[in-house]
């Protein structure tokens, strides 16, 4: 399937992918939309990342997604790349899969048997592999509207702006007084799939958003990841980045919550 082509075409150029046939989805205009409904935002799979970046609906309802998408590639990449293509490609160092996890989104797949909804927690299976079957296409992405009082932040370390993340962390916090009633954390670049940091979330929901709790949550997050070694950094380096970036993201998000 060809959506924006920002991953498939380079893979074909390097002979990493040699598909027998390519189905171009660019002539399916019905898959390009951003719609707000009661408590939910629906985004067509062929919606360009640049459109999401400047959408008033996204800025109002999903400000963390707006901030994160600015870290995706460069202007030409975002102008052609689609949200559905990025999620279906499932690069573990990409920002949008991490957003699907931290914002508790879901995708809609369409195939010969009809439509089915796949939650973020069930969508990413392994490196560059998802729950989509060979006969299905991703047609829609859905996100619950972020609470109006939520604090949020995304922190990323990459060699250059626009590169894939060596490590990235995203946070959403909802506070009631001194209590953290909801914490959501996810990371990318630290394993074969984007990861929800549930143990670290639990620390914050139990102990609040003080400095000690944030530092403990950051250490728990670093222990939870299973990073790889590659030319961009060692596993230990990525664990260190996870702790540092988690702390930064949580402090920024805590300042904006309330």
Higher local confidence (pLDDT), 14 or 112? 112
| Sign of the dihedral through C-alpha 65, 254, 173, 124 | positive
pLDDT digits (tens, 9 = 90+) for 156-190: 999 888 888 999 999 999 999 889 999 999 999 99
CB atoms within 10 A of CB 211: 11
pLDDT above 70: residue 258: no
Q: What is the pTM of this model?
A: 0.92
CATH code at 151-256? 3.30.390.50
Average pLDDT over residues 28-33: 90
Rg (CA), the chain: 18
CB atoms within 10 A of CB 127: 12
pLDDT of residue 22: 76
- Find the largest Cα–Cα distance for the chain: 58
Question: What is the CATH class of 8-23+31-144?
Answer: alpha beta
pLDDT above 70: residue 14: no
Average pLDDT along the chain:
93
Look at phi and psi of residue 212 and say left if phi exceeds 0, alpha if psi is from -120 to 50, else beta: alpha
Domain ranges of the chain: 8-23+31-144, 151-256
Closest CA to 106 of 114, 93, 116: 116
Closest CA to 103 of 176, 46, 48, 39: 39
Would you state the structure tokens that stand for residue 167, as one six-digit string? Answer: 């490590």
pLDDT above 80: residue 196: yes
b/e 134-167 (16+ beta carbons within 10 angstroms → b): eebbbbbbbbebbeeebbbbbbbbbeeeeebbbb
């Amino acid at each position: 399937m060809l959506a924006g082509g920002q991953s498939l075409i380079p893979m074909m150029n390097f002979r990493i992918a040699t598909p027998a046939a390519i189905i171009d989805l660019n002539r399916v205009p019905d898959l390009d939309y951003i719609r707000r409904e009661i408590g939910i935002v629906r985004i067509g799979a062929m919606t360009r990342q640049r459109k999401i970046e400047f959408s008033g609906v996204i800025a109002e309802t999903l400000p963390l997604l707006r901030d994160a998408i600015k870290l995706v590639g460069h202007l030409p990449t975002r102008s052609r790349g689609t949200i559905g293509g990025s999620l279906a490609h499932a690069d573990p160092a990409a920002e949008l899969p991490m957003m699907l996890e931290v914002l508790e989104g879901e995708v809609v797949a369409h195939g010969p048997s009809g439509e089915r909804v796949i939650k973020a927690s069930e969508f990413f299976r392994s490196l560059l592999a998802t729950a989509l079957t060979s006969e299905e296409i991703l047609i829609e992405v859905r996100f619950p509207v972020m609470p109006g009082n939520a604090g949020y932040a995304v922190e990323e370390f990459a060699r250059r702006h626009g590169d894939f993340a060596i490590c990235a962390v995203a946070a959403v916090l909802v506070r009631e007084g001194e209590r953290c009633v909801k914490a959501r954390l996810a990371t990318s670049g630290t394993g074969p799939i984007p990861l929800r940091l549930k143990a670290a979330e639990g620390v914050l929901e139990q102990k609040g958003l003080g400095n000690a709790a944030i530092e403990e949550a950051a250490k728990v997050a670093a222990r939870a990841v299973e990073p790889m070694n590659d030319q961009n950094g060692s596993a230990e380096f990525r664990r260190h980045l996870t702790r540092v970036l988690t702390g930064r993201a949580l402090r920024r998000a805590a300042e904006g919550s309330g």
